[in-house]
Chain A
Amino acid sequence: MKEAAGKEKREEMKEEDEENEEETLEELEGFDDFTLASSWERFISEIEAVCRQWLADGPKNLLKKGADCLGSPNNLYKVKSELKYGMKSYCMEYFFEISGSGKVVEWSIDLHNLQLSFGVKEFLLIAPISASGVVLDAPEASKLLSAVAIALSNCGSIWPAFVPVHDPSREAYIGIQNMGTDYTRRFEADRIGSQVPIKLMHLEGLYELFISKFVFSMVDFSASLFKVHFTMKLTYRTPPYDDDDGIQGGESEITESDGNSEVDNHSKTQWDDDCPWSEWYTAEDPIKGFELIAIWSSRIVENSLEMAELENASCHDAEKWLLLPILTPNSNADSKDKMTSFASQLHLLVNALNVSFEAQFMEDFISVEKASSDNLKSTPIPPPTVLDRVLKDLFNEGEKISNYSKSEYQNSRAIKGAPFESLFAQFCLHSLWFGSCNIRAIATLWIEFVREVRWCWEESQPLPSMLTNGSIDLSTCLIHQKLQMLAICIDKKVMVDKDLHKSSGGCEEGLQFKGYPSQVSESSDIDEKCDSSRQEAHHGSKINKSASDLKSKSLLKSTKIESPAQVRRGSAGVVGSMMLLNSYQRMHAPDTQDAPIMTEDMHEERLQAVEAFGNSFSFSAQLEKDVLSSDMSAFKAANPDAVFEDFIRWHSPGDWERDENEDDDKLRVEGYDWPPQGRLSQRMSEGGNSWRQLWNVSPALPASEQKPLLDPNREGEKILHYLETLRPHQLLEQMVCTAFKASADNLSQTSFGDLQQMRTKIEQLYLTMASILKHLQANHLKDKGELIDDLKRLCLVFEHVEQLLILAASLHRKLLSAPRLSKAIFADYYNFYLPRMGTSSVGNADEKEFNVRQPVRSSERQVVANMFPPPTANQSWRKVLSMGNLFNGHEPIYREIIFSLYDNFGEGQYGTSGPRSNHREIETHRMYICGTSNDLQAALSVTSCD
């Protein structure tokens, strides 16, 4: 039926060629009045004028004049012009390439549909403009085409021109191309949208269809003698992943406040179960599957049998494989229920920050009387069961951490937040997912959190997920520093309690801050029992460490030479073989107090005090003086007969200068040199030396009896006071910083293989976060509105990186054994996605789809083939296979083939099979066929000698 229609049309077109102008006009008179004659002519000359202009301009100038580019990978551009004929408007478009090599690349993915269908490069397309979907029927289309053909031939152009016929979904076209004086090429495309005849489902039948296009005109030839060029492209789609069968119904419920949503959620396995974020949420797999495109490059087929064989050919025989990931469309990007992700929750947290300025205390957000606005009162708080679960998770005993886990990303530290997986960081992550992360939910959680912390403090229970030996890292947020300090205070408190318990009644009772209370009484005796392991463990200064060099042999001897005049107290052991200057005794290192630790606000206070001194000539901070004085007192107690010089020899050996040549007249007593030789350095011996002054006023007191440099009871209580009275916005500022950091730290643990771009992107994200978040927790906030806007933009940036990362993870796990391929596909996607990242929300509506196909190397084919497991009995039952070229039992979802026939026109109709002469070989027939077994499109181009 279609063939018949084609023949008819061709005849029609002949009739209406330029020489038959008058006839055409007459025909047209039928449905318009007599003025039409001139309007038809005007229409043609209008087309002609436009074409002449375009021809004269040439592609380069047209580009300058602002031709539209049709997507970036292809260099196809178009210009258009609107024309009027009678009541109808037409749009004429000229499509052209800029830097094309002149050859149409076979199966190039970015060909325009018409280029692919008809094997043309540049072309004209003319169609009626209609808002109401007015379409041309066959005669109208022919008339229109003939008008264009006349115009084109008038200006000597050889552009092919096309006109759509019927409604657009049918993709039917007719076209014509004037190829110089001798030849004309005619085009025709149509579609069978349903009930494709069985014959046309198979390659053999399609081949015969093609043959039939010319065989009737060359009766004396049998089909077997034709050398038909054939090329084929098959597209396969991976079957759906098994674990995807149930679509995540639980997702929207995660944030819901009912306690069992988590249970539902975990009952089925998700693709991202072992990804770091799955602890908090389940992401939809961004990669639904893959398309495999297998290409059989051009070969010559001589009969139908060969075609039938080709239909059995394995995919592995195809010359070229390309792989394209099928991405989950971000369809719900604009709707209110955006995808749940860290970014979405951070956005909510930023909203909470915005509200936090409204109240003085966190309690105010919960108490009914004080809630400032009505809509605040109505914001939901998760039920107690959920609260309990979160608290249990935060404060559960068990894993004691030995170190805060460090991010492999250097810039993570640039954000002033709590370290990853520390108590406050965990609190912040929980807050993100606690209810809808509104201020009331946060307030509820915080108040209970602080209550738990107080309980730990009162009961001297170690804080979970906190180090006790650590110093305070000032690059973290203040709440973390405070919790860190509290953890240390609790630790010290426990020590003191133990100590009191153990040595009750002993004279060494009191505050003791070294970690070794049980040994204090021993060391207060003369030091025989001093064992080296104890020395090792002592983490004081290096002075103490050098004492461990002592051999046990010399220890025994030491008793003989010691005769302390006063009671020695608070010794941590002797210092090497050092002797005191003025008394024939060994020098003892004292137990010392730990240098006090300070949180940033304490430093701040000190600095302010210091700066108040202004340009004072010699300022020394009181605290350090206290430490030095404490050391002096302890040294005096441990060495009752010591002088200032002895202290310097121990504490600042650099300031004790020895003469090397005075070795001879030393009194040697059983291996000990006495008296020690040397003198104080000049700076130590100056008159107004502040060290000596301090020495003179420091009483002899062992560390255990000194006023503590850090009072754990007092400091701990102060910290709880801080936590209990923290201003909401101060809490929220720190939470925002920590939540951003912890979310990024969580995500960045994802394994995505060796993707440099991803790594760089994450590192950049940290930097961006740091530069915006630094305006929080500052002494004076910058404009609040501006800050909130910045933070919201930061959420978008975060969202982009998060989505990209999830894609990288998905890609990585799917192509685990083909790392090169997954890297290449990611790079393609990255380049595609990058320009979109800066602009707007993820998944914009007018986004072009990602369609870069990555060539598969032969070594990677097996990995790709494994993604097509043979269908289960159940699956194959569902589908009727009808196309052939099965790949592991899967039918292609799309088949495209091109037949073409060449002829040597110069030597008459049918060329010889002899050696090639210098005559031009012309593609006389070309047919492009695409589709499936129930949707077939065909496009035919025929070149003929007129």
Chain B
Amino acid sequence: MDNRPEFDYLFKLLLIGDSGVGKSSLLLRFTSDTFEELSPTIGVDFKVKMVTIGGKKLKLAIWDTAGQERFRTLTSSYYRGAQGVIMVYDVTRRETFTNLKDIWAKEVDLYSTNQDCIKMLVGNKVDKESERVVTKKEGIDFARESGCLFLECSAKTRVNVEQCFEELVLKILDTPSLLAEGSSSVKKNIFKQKPPQNDAATSGCC
């Protein structure tokens, strides 16, 4: 009883999208609540954050991939076992939006090994409202089409950044198969259909 893991679930999340849309900036904002100029990601970056969402202690391992095409074959491996994928585009650059449709969404289907993996569409840089070229409605439509969650946010002003990760995680918590994978307890036997482990021990202390 005492050596209970220090978290209830470990979830693997993945950030994808064209170079320069602000993936690294979003992650930095989420993990350290700052905004600074970062070098373009080389290959992949990785951060861990402990959060309490929905009364559960969660360890989030967030993988920040490079948008550069040159790294794409390498990054494909990071899709493996991810419970959530955040697809980011820049609301001021249309091609970053169309590339999500044409390239990135297909990559998810191709490389994700997780049938029920949750996808989230995120339009970044809404602080640059005057330069916006992709409307919110277009975002919503695309999200509906491809069965994603959707949010618009800004890494610079931190608008919606927290919500973005939170909603994704809540949805994962809602999906039993993903939950089972992320669970720190042992795997279950599908023939015997034991009820899922009750996490009563974890109280929502904060």
Hey, which bits of chain A sit against chain B, CB under 8 A?
A: 414, 471, 474-475, 541-542, 595-598, 600, 603, 610-611, 613-615, 618-621, 623-625, 627-628, 631, 651-652, 654-655, 681-684, 686, 688-691, 694, 771-772, 775, 778, 782, 786, 790, 793
Q: Answer yes or no: B198 CB below 8 A from chain A CBs.
A: no
Q: Are B73 and A595 in contact (CB under 8 A)?
A: yes
Chain B residues positioned under 8 Å from A682 (CB to CB):
37
Task: Please report the C-alpha to C-alpha distance between residue A694 and residue B42 in the assembled complex, in whole angstroms.
Answer: 11
Residues of B within 8 A of A772 (CB): 190
Give the residues from 46 to 79 in chain B that come closer than 8 angstroms, CB to CB, to chain A: 46-48, 61, 66, 68-71, 73-74, 76-77
Query: Does B3 interact with chain A (Cβ within 8 Å)?
Result: no
Determine if B39 is an interface residue (Cβ-Cβ < 8 Å): yes
Using an 8 Å CB-CB cutoff, how does the interface string of B113-154 with A read, 1 for contact, 0 for none? 101000000000000000000000000000000000000000
Whether A631 and B77, one on each chain, are in contact in the complex, defined by CB atoms closer than 8 angstroms, is no
From residue A120, how far is it (CB to closest CB) to chain B in Å? Answer: 48
Bound-state Cα–Cα, A628 to B66, Å: 12
**12 A-B pairs (CB sep. < 8 Å):** A603-B80, A610-B46, A611-B46, A620-B42, A624-B42, A625-B43, A627-B43, A655-B20, A683-B37, A684-B39, A686-B37, A782-B186
Separation of A615 and B46 alpha carbons in the complex (Å): 8
A474 touches B113 (CB 8 A): yes
Q: Chain A residues with Cβ under 8 A from B77's Cβ?
A: 474, 598, 600, 603
Query: Are A623 and B190 in contact (CB-based, < 8 A)?
Result: no
List 7 additional A-B contacts (Cβ < 8 Å) besides A474-B111, A603-B77, A686-B38.
A595-B70, A598-B74, A615-B47, A624-B44, A651-B70, A691-B40, A793-B191
What residues of B have a CB within 8 angstroms of the CB of A782 in the complex? 186-187, 189
0/1 string, B11-55, CB within 8 A of A gives 1? 000000011100000000000000001111111111110000000
Complex CA distance for A778 and B69, rounded to whole angstroms: 32
Chain A's closest residue to B71 (CB) is A624
Q: Which chain B positions have C-beta within 8 A of A471?
A: 73, 76
Residues on the A chain within 8 Å of B37, using CB: 682-683, 686
Known: A474-B113, A619-B46, A793-B191. A683 touches B40 (CB 8 A): yes
User: What B residues does A475 contact at CB under 8 A?
Assistant: 113
- A541 and B43 contact, Cβ closer than 8 Å, known pairs A598-B77, A652-B19: no
**Which of A620, A624, A627 is the most central at the interface, judged by chain B CB atoms within 10 Å of its CB?**
A624
CA–CA, A624 to B68, complex, Å? 11
* Chain A hits for B190, CB < 8 A: 771-772, 790
From B37, B39, B45, B191, residue with most partner A Cβ within 10 Å: B39
Which are the 10 A-B pairs with shortest beta-carbon distances?
A624-B43, A690-B39, A603-B77, A683-B37, A595-B73, A686-B37, A620-B42, A654-B20, A621-B43, A689-B39
**C-alpha spacing A414/B46, complex, angstroms:** 27
In the complex the two chains form, what is the Cα distance from A474 to B110 in whole Å?
10
Please report the C-alpha to C-alpha distance between residue A610 and residue B48 in the assembled complex, in whole angstroms: 11
Pairwise interchain contact B73-A790, C-beta atoms closer than 8 A: no
List residues of chain B with CB within 8 A of the CB of A615: 47-48
A674 CB, min distance to chain B CBs, angstroms? 26
Nearest-Cβ distance from residue B97 to partner chain A, whole angstroms: 14
Within the assembled complex, what's the spacing in Å between the Cα atoms of A684 and B68? 14
A618 pairs with B45, CB closer than 8 A: yes
Give the Cβ gap from B111 to chain A, nearest Cβ, in Å: 7
A691–B74 CB distance below 8 A: no
Contacts of A628 in B (CB 8 A): 42-43, 70
Contact A690 B42 (CB under 8 A): yes
Contact A627–B71 (Cβ < 8 Å): yes
Contacts of B115 in A (CB 8 A): 414
Partner pick for B74 among A541, A595, A654, CB 8 A cutoff? A595
Q: Which of B18, B39, B70 contacts A683 (CB 8 A)?
A: B39
Given A541-B69, A651-B68, A654-B20, verify A786-B39 contact (CB < 8 Å). no
Assess A542 versus B191: contact at CB under 8 Å? Given A603-B77, A623-B74, A684-B40: no
* CB <8 Å contact, B70 and A631: yes
Give chain A nearest CB distance to B119 CB in angstroms: 17
B40 near A655: Cβ-Cβ < 8 Å: yes
- Contacting residues, chain B, for A694 (C-beta < 8 A): 42
- Closest chain-B Cβ to A623's Cβ sits at a distance in Å of 7
On whether A624 and B74 interact (CB within 8 A), knowing A651-B68, A771-B190, A772-B190, the answer reads yes
In chain B, what residue has the closest Cβ to A783? B189
Q: Which residues of B contact A624 (CB under 8 A)?
A: 42-44, 66, 71, 74
Does B74 lie within 8 Å of A786, measured CB to CB? no
A residues near B80, Cβ cutoff 8 Å: 474, 600, 603
- List residues of chain B with CB within 8 A of the CB of A613: 46
- Most A CB atoms within 10 A — which of B44, B45, B46? B46
Cβ-defined partner of A790 (8 Å) among B40, B47, B191: B191
Is the CB–CB distance between A623 and B43 below 8 Å? yes
Which among B61, B69, B77, B189 has the highest number of chain A CB atoms within 10 Å?
B77
**A239 vs B189: C-alpha distance in the bound complex, in angstroms?**
49
Interface centre among B41, B45, B70, B115 (most CB of A within 10 A): B70
Residues of B within 8 A of A681 (CB): 20
Given A471-B76, A652-B19, A652-B68: A621 in contact with B39 (beta carbons within 8 A): no
| Cβ-neighbour of B45 out of A542, A596, A603, A620 (below 8 A) | A620
Distance A793 CA – B44 CA, assembled complex (angstroms): 42
Q: Which residues from chain B contact A683 at a C-beta distance below 8 Å?
A: 20, 37-40
Q: Closest chain B residue to A789 by CB distance? A: B191
CA distance A160 to B203 in the complex (A): 71
Cα A420 to Cα B47 with chains together (Å): 38
Q: Given the complex, which residues of A lie within 8 Å of B41, measured CB to CB?
A: 620
Chain A: minimal CB distance from B5 (Å): 15
Question: What A residues does B44 contact at CB under 8 A?
Answer: 620-621, 624
* Cβ–Cβ < 8 Å partners of B74 in chain A: 595-596, 598, 621, 623-624, 627
CB A822 to nearest CB in B, in angstroms, measures: 33
CA distance A772 to B188 in the complex (A): 10
Chain B residues with CB under 8 A of A620: 41-45
Alpha-carbon distance between A551 and B68 when the two chains are bound, in angstroms: 28
Nearest residue (CB) in B for A603 is B77
Q: Closest CB of chain A to B62's CB: distance in Å?
A: 11
Q: Given A627-B70, A631-B70, decide whether A654 and B19 contact each other with a Cβ distance below 8 A.
A: yes
How far is A688 from B38 in the complex, measured between Cα atoms in Å? 9
B187 & A691 in contact (Cβ 8 Å cutoff):
no
Q: In the bound complex, do residue A614 and residue B48 qualify as a contact, i.e. CB atoms below 8 Å apart?
A: yes
- How far does the Cβ of B64 sit from chain A's closest Cβ, in whole Å? 10
Q: Please, how many angstroms separate the alpha-carbon atoms of A611 and B187 in the complex?
A: 23
Most A CB atoms within 10 A — which of B37, B48, B187? B37
Chain B residues with CB under 8 A of A614: 48
* Docked complex Cα distance between A778 and B186 (Å): 12
Min CB gap A90→B, angstroms? 47
Chain A residue nearest to B21 in the complex (CB): A654
Known: A414-B115, A790-B189. A652 touches B40 (CB 8 A): yes
State which residues 169-192 of B face A: CB under 8 Å.
186-187, 189-191
Residues of A within 8 A of B46 (CB): 610-611, 613, 619
Residues of chain A lying within 8 A (CB to CB) of residue B111 = 474
* Cβ contacts under 8 Å, A775 to chain B: 187
**Quick one: closest A residue to B48, CB to CB?**
A615
**Minimum distance in angstroms from A619 CB to a CB of chain B:** 5
Q: Please, how many angstroms separate the alpha-carbon atoms of A625 and B115 in the complex?
A: 31
Minimal Cβ-Cβ distance residue in B for A606 = B77
A556 to B9, CA, bound (A): 64
A684–B19 Cα distance when bound, in Å, is 12
Minimum CB–CB distance from B23 to chain A (whole Å) comes to: 12
The CA-CA distance from A688 to B40 in the complex, in Å, is: 12
Give chain B nearest CB distance to A630 CB in angstroms. Answer: 10
Distance in angstroms between the alpha carbons of A475 and B80 in the assembled complex: 8
Residues of B within 8 A of A611 (CB): 46, 61
Query: Can you list, as one digit per residue, whether each of B89-118 has a CB less than 8 Å from chain A (1) or not (0)?
Result: 000000000000000000000010101000
Chain B residue nearest to A684 in the complex (CB): B40
Write the chain B residue with the least CB distance to A772: B190
Contacts of A688 in B (CB 8 A): 39
A603 to B77, CA, bound (A): 7
